[in-house]
Structure 1
Amino acid sequence: MRTRYIAGLSLVTMGVGFVTTLFLPEHPLVDLLKGGFEAGLVGGFADWFAVTALFRHPMGIPIPHTSLLLKNRDKLANSLISALENELLNKESISQKLKKLQLLKVAGSALVRLVGKRRNRVAALDFLQTLLAKLPLESLVPHLQSGIVSIIRKSEAQPLAEKAVAVAVQEQWDEKALDYALNQGRAWVSKPETGYMLGSIAQQKISEAKVGGIMGFAVQAFAGFMNEEKLGTMIQQLLLSGIQDLAQPGNANRGRLLAEIRHQMESVANDEDLLNRGKEWLADKAGNPQSGQFFLERMEHVRSSLVAALEKDKQGGGRKVASAVSYVIRKLQAEKEMTESAERKVLSFIVDFVEANHYRLGALLKDNLDQMNDKELVRMLEEKVGGDLQWIRVNGALCGFLIGLALTCIQWL
């Protein structure tokens, strides 16, 4: 290391200077330099001894209280681990540092900067396309079916049915369903072929009616005046008139019909046995191989649509991705309470995770130190802090030289 050479040079300079002054003639200036070099030599050598004693035995001599780092490597390792666990990675210090960072704000800003570059957006879209293309949908379908079946079988059918009935009544779905049925019935009854069919059925049933006496005569006379077309038209008019009445709000028959519909819905919602059978039927259908094929086809369709949408956006430089990210971040920043709550949760998770696992860092540090032999440990420490320690030797030589000059002056006085 360069500093080691400088430190060695300072010691050699003091030694050469001291020896040189021994051979110079007597003179006050020579005496002054001699005192300075002598003190500098002593100071430099003493500091060399102190610095060397940290790493090894000076000159290889096993002098007591030298090679301190090697003798105390276990204490050193334990001290480092203790400082790591109790001071550097304790809960309070981590919390304070993370709070100053404002993680979510920093992450949001970094994300906006990333998506601001076209190449990053395109790379993200490429990654998403690759991820979607490699999704094993065939292996996911059984898990999806299993999850659906589990949800169906674990769910309580009766509360769901009661809630569905309440929502249906509140949203007037029963009236909408009745109106839909009446409109469909009106359209069907109004067809000419329907009138002919109704007339044909009516004429056939009249002819089959076995009524005697005056009533039979009257029925036969009526049948003689009516043909299929006339009977069909008459029945159509009766049915259309009845449908029109049922379609009018406030109609008594409509009210009774709606009451009956609601009564039947409530009866179904309270029929536990029927609901359980329906639940089992749904579970069986969801777990059926044909349902699995249906799910697979739907998932394949969704995947194709997503890949196509991503490809289209990629051709445009991923602008939709940037817009979506910016929109989400703006919304999150606007919701200060939600953002602060999320920040607290993230900080709590990080702090708890580090606190629960920082012993692993200590164990890793201990393992790495144990794997290093004495030479490697000394070399590593000298590389990290040896340069600063060598300046102690330089300072010792210079300070000793100056002190020597001062002491010589004091002696003269």
Structure 2
Amino acid sequence: MKLLATGLLVLMAVIFAVSFALQARYPWLQYVRAASEGGMVGALADWFAVTALFRRPLGLKIPHTAIIPTRKNEIGESLGEFVEENFLSDAVVQEKLASVGVSRVVSGWLSQPANAHRLTNEIAGGLTGALSFLSDDEIRSVIEGLARTHLVGRDWSPQIGELASSVLATGHQHIAVDLLVDKAEQWLAANPESFTALVSKRLPSWLPSFVDRLVDDRVYREALKFVQSVQANPGHPLRKALDEYLLRLADDLQHDPAMMKRVEALKEQVLDDPRLRELAALAWQAIKDALTASLENPESALRLTIESTLVDVGTRLASDARLASTVDTWVANAASHLLASYRHDIAAVISETVSRWDGKEASQKIELQVGRDLQFIRINGTVVGSLAGLAIFAVAQGLLSAF
């Protein structure tokens, strides 16, 4: 295109030279000379204008030339501001989102099982990659930090006391007592030898064997009778004593400093136990392995559940107008928030990118993109200049002839 535009300029110069030399012999060539003269002027003027955008014409340091290389930073900032004000404005984005109908598009896409399956594969791949990038040591450190912040760093006693008071107020502790008493009665009834052996071990060795047997048998019968009486009588003194003890314990947990201190010491002892840390590490590894296996298996329950959930979401968005409206509103609000917070940062990408370009490189990039059209400006300038020169000369000749 440069060769074509320059060729027209050369052609105009040749025509001008020939017509200028022969116009005395052939008067009509004056019009040709005027046209070619105007064409040369137009071609040179537009060549200067186009060249001045990208470099200094003929290397001359003429003011306001090489505009792009010397002012690329200002151009980048202006372009970024233009994009920010005209493309990233809240009104433009809201209007676009309203015309698109995000919920409608998403529902139509997700309701197709093939698309839901494809998205499930992408989600599974992303989660698998995330799990592979996670450091087990760092995860354990995070878990330990969270535990120390939310478990060790808090006083458990008041919360435990309040919970116990709530349970005791509803009488739910009676269920646990009934269960313990039932199990005790069943064990005594099924294991009399074991119980009597425990009693015999605590009797003096000098007692005769028949005395041992009498004591063992008597203690066993009394113990079984006692447990059965507790089991049969909801108002048994033992039950009442247990209730009183539990109530007192719940109150001490909330108000007794000594009890609170004992609970905190026990808590710290349990949480600092290396075996507990080892158990947490094993639990994390088991969870990680199970998740990885499920995500990698296309037929796993986890992936099938994700896929069916995605299809269900698409179906609900299509059938539930209220849900669709809620989603559209949420997306619009989220977009507005993001724009309000990061509009300038997004637009700054343009200005920062342009500012990093070398001046000569930026000029070449832009010239390669729009240079073809700019050469048409030179061609049009040549044609328009020729017509203008011809018209001006013709009008002048007409006026001279009239006067």
Q: Is the Cα–Cα contact under 8 Å of residues 43 and 385 in structure 2 kept in the other structure?
A: yes
Output the CA distance in 1 between the equivalents of 2:271 and 2:331. 37
Residue 385 of structure 1 deviates from its aligned partner by 3.8
Task: State the partner residue of 1:16.
Answer: 14
| TM norm structure 2 | 0.71
Task: State the partner residue of 2:273.
Answer: 288
Q: Is the Cα–Cα contact under 8 Å of residues 152 and 267 in structure 2 kept in the other structure?
A: no
Output the CA distance in 1 between the equivalents of 2:4 and 2:169. 92
1:307 counterpart (292, 300, 304) = 292
Task: State the partner residue of 2:36.
Answer: 37
Deviations 1:337-396 (A, max 9, x none): 577457535642454245368667645543434xx4xx5454344324433332222121
For 1:110-121, list aligned pairs within 5 A. 112=110, 116=115, 121=120
Deviations 1:294-333 (A, max 9, x none): 1122222222322332343357995444334445677799
Task: State the partner residue of 1:177.
Answer: 176
2:243 counterpart (246, 254, 258) = 258
Q: Is the Cα–Cα contact under 8 Å of residues 21 and 34 in structure 1 kept in the other structure?
A: yes
Q: Is the Cα–Cα contact under 8 Å of residues 39 and 381 in structure 2 kept in the other structure?
A: yes
Task: State the partner residue of 1:88.
Answer: 83
Output the CA distance in 1 between the equivalents of 2:393 and 2:316. 78
1:277 counterpart (258, 262, 272) = 262
Task: State the partner residue of 1:240.
Answer: 228
Task: State the partner residue of 2:5.
Answer: 7
- SS of 1:155's equivalent in the other structure is coil
Change (3 A) 1:386 1:242: closer
Task: State the partner residue of 2:187.
Answer: 188
Change (3 A) 1:197 1:407: same
| TM norm structure 1 | 0.70
Aligned AA (1:379): Q
Deviations 1:223-242 (A, max 9, x none): 9xx99768855764564244
- SS of 1:313's equivalent in the other structure is coil
Deviations 1:255-295 (A, max 9, x none): 67535533332233322332233223222322222212111
Deviations 1:28-52 (A, max 9, x none): 5x55444333322322223223333
Aligned AA (1:334): L
Q: Is the Cα–Cα contact under 8 Å of residues 132 and 303 in structure 1 kept in the other structure?
A: yes
Query: Which deviates more from structure 2 when the two are superposed, residues 350-359 or residues 168-177?
Result: 350-359
Instruction: Tell me the matched-pair count.
Output: 377
- SS of 2:298's equivalent in the other structure is helix
Residue 20 of structure 1 deviates from its aligned partner by 4.1
Aligned AA (1:344): N
Q: Is the Cα–Cα contact under 8 Å of residues 85 and 362 in structure 1 kept in the other structure?
A: yes
Task: State the partner residue of 1:214.
Answer: none
Q: Is the Cα–Cα contact under 8 Å of residues 18 and 34 in structure 1 kept in the other structure?
A: yes
Output the CA distance in 2 between the equivalents of 1:273 and 1:331. 57
Output the CA distance in 2 between the equivalents of 1:137 and 1:57. 61
Residue 114 of structure 1 deviates from its aligned partner by 11
Query: Which deviates more from structure 2 when the two are superposed, residues 35-44 or residues 328-337?
Result: 328-337
Output the CA distance in 2 between the equivalents of 1:256 and 1:330. 59
Aligned AA (2:12): M
Output the CA distance in 2 between the equivalents of 1:176 and 1:116. 52
Task: State the partner residue of 1:152.
Answer: 151
For 1:345-356, list aligned pairs within 5 A. 345=334, 347-349=336-338, 351-355=340-344
Query: Which deviates more from structure 2 when the two are superposed, residues 90-99 or residues 381-390?
Result: 90-99
Aligned AA (2:26): E
Task: State the partner residue of 2:357.
Answer: 368
Q: Is the Cα–Cα contact under 8 Å of residues 229 and 236 in structure 2 kept in the other structure?
A: no
Change (3 A) 1:257 1:294: closer
Change (3 A) 1:334 1:296: same
Task: State the partner residue of 1:163.
Answer: 162
Aligned AA (2:357): N
Residue 160 of structure 1 deviates from its aligned partner by 1.4
1:69 counterpart (49, 67, 70) = 67
Task: State the partner residue of 2:389.
Answer: 404
Aligned AA (1:386): G
Task: State the partner residue of 1:26.
Answer: 26
**In the alignment, structure 1 residue 391 sits paired with structure 2 residue 390:** no
Q: Is the Cα–Cα contact under 8 Å of residues 88 and 343 in structure 2 kept in the other structure?
A: no
Q: Is the Cα–Cα contact under 8 Å of residues 270 and 276 in structure 2 kept in the other structure?
A: yes
Output the CA distance in 2 between the equivalents of 1:170 and 1:297. 39
Output the CA distance in 2 between the equivalents of 1:139 and 1:322. 31
Residue 156 of structure 1 deviates from its aligned partner by 3.0
Output the CA distance in 2 between the equivalents of 1:280 and 1:350. 51
Aligned AA (2:75): L
Change (3 A) 1:377 1:188: closer
Residue 111 of structure 1 deviates from its aligned partner by 8.9
Output the CA distance in 2 between the equivalents of 1:377 and 1:129. 42
Output the CA distance in 1 between the equivalents of 2:249 and 2:324. 47
2:74 counterpart (51, 74, 79) = 79
Aligned AA (1:240): Q
Deviations 1:172-215 (A, max 9, x none): 432222222232233234436279849x88xx99xx9xxxxxxx
- SS of 1:182's equivalent in the other structure is helix
Aligned AA (1:95): D
Residue 244 of structure 1 deviates from its aligned partner by 0.9
